Amino acid sequence: MARWSDGYWSSSDGLRLHYRDYAGDAARPPIVCIPGLTRNARDFEGVAERLAGRRRLICVDLRGRGQSEHSKDPMLYVPPVYVEDMEALIAALGLTRFVLFGTSLGGLITMLLAQRDSGRIAAALLNDIGPVLETRGLEHIRSYVGRSQSWPTWLHAARALCEMQSDRYPDWPLEQWLVYAKRVCRLTPNGRIVFDYDMRLAEPFKMPAGEAGFDLWPAFRSLDGVPSLVVRGELSDLLSEETVKRMCAEVSSLEAVTVPRVGHAPTLDEPIALDAIDRLLARGDAADC
């Protein structure tokens, strides 16, 4: 199992934020991994297990998730603030060139970081996210985000997650649901299993503007010329095939792959995703030569 060290940085409003730091080849740009709305640094465990040693991976807990402090004001759980938090991390670590892996919300942040300065990005992965968010997918997320639940054991949590999300991962065995449960949940001091995020982050997300609330196409187009990859789940209700086709037409450096029998969002452990990640990193390395 790949080992990591815990790292911390400070946001502009004084929060102590956390990341997992997996050591790797210092000569190559590190990979900064940004998770989705209710996820955390553990979401990239599979990717990190495979790439650590060859690559440095910095897997972040956004504010209100995992080991990062919760925002004092829930209305600060919005993409522009997350972007500022990421800029603070980039500055704190002195990163001048890096790869971005962004799942869902993390992909939105990736596009917004590219809009600020795409020249520093060696390669970018957008996991089941694009400039257009399908209404059906957004409504599905709104239906469960911020709903506090708890279970007495990890097995109970895994079975509950299976019942709630089997339409996303219809082929998963129970063992995979247990892995998933331990990525998205935590054990409380009183012995209960709960989701590992601040339930208040649902407040701005459930407002009419939705998760993005602005035109993301200009931000996405900032990736033109940057080796890029979009991974779409075949069963995704958030990213449509039509959007992916337009994305490929507008950014010539973008490769698109579809993970069969998976919804929102792929774990990036799937064979087709692993092969595409290898190609992406090779393109990024070639561009840096």
Of the listed ranges 15-19, 136-140, 220-224, the one predicted with least confidence: 136-140
Q: Among residues 112, 126, 120, which one has the least CA distance to residue 83?
A: 112
In a domain, 178, yes or no: no
CATH number of the domain within which 96 lies: 3.40.50.1820
Structural domains counted in the chain: 1
In a domain, 73, yes or no: yes
Q: Reply yes or no on whether the pLDDT at 211 is more than 70.
A: no
Q: What is the pLDDT of residue 288?
A: 77
Q: Reply yes or no on whether the pLDDT at 2 is more than 80.
A: no
Please give the residue that has the higher pLDDT: either 223 or 286. Answer: 223
Per-residue pLDDT tens digits for 79-99? 999 999 999 999 999 999 999
Percent of the chain having pLDDT more than 90?
90
Global pTM reads: 0.96
The verdict on whether omega for the bond into residue 265 sits within 30 degrees of 0, i.e. cis, is yes
In a domain, 173, yes or no: no
Q: Reply yes or no on whether the pLDDT at 224 is more than 50.
A: yes
Please give the residue that has the higher pLDDT: either 257 or 207. Answer: 257
Per-residue pLDDT tens digits for 148-195? 899 999 999 999 999 999 999 999 999 999 999 999 999 999 999 999
In a domain, 28, yes or no: yes
In a domain, 98, yes or no: yes
Range of the domain at 53: 5-136+215-288
In a domain, 170, yes or no: no
Q: What is the pLDDT of residue 192?
A: 97
Question: What b/e sequence results for 166-185 when a residue is b if at least 16 CB atoms lie within 10 Å of its CB, and e otherwise?
Answer: eebbeebeeeebbbbbbbbb
Strand, coil or helix: 215: coil
Q: Among residues 100, 116, 105, which one has the least CA distance to residue 227?
A: 100
Q: Among residues 154, 121, 148, 152, which one has the least CA distance to residue 225?
A: 121
In a domain, 171, yes or no: no
In a domain, 94, yes or no: yes
Q: What is the pLDDT of residue 210?
A: 44
Pairing of strands 150-151, 121-127: unpaired
Q: What is the pLDDT of residue 93?
A: 98
Give the Cα separation of 163 and 263 in Å (integer): 15
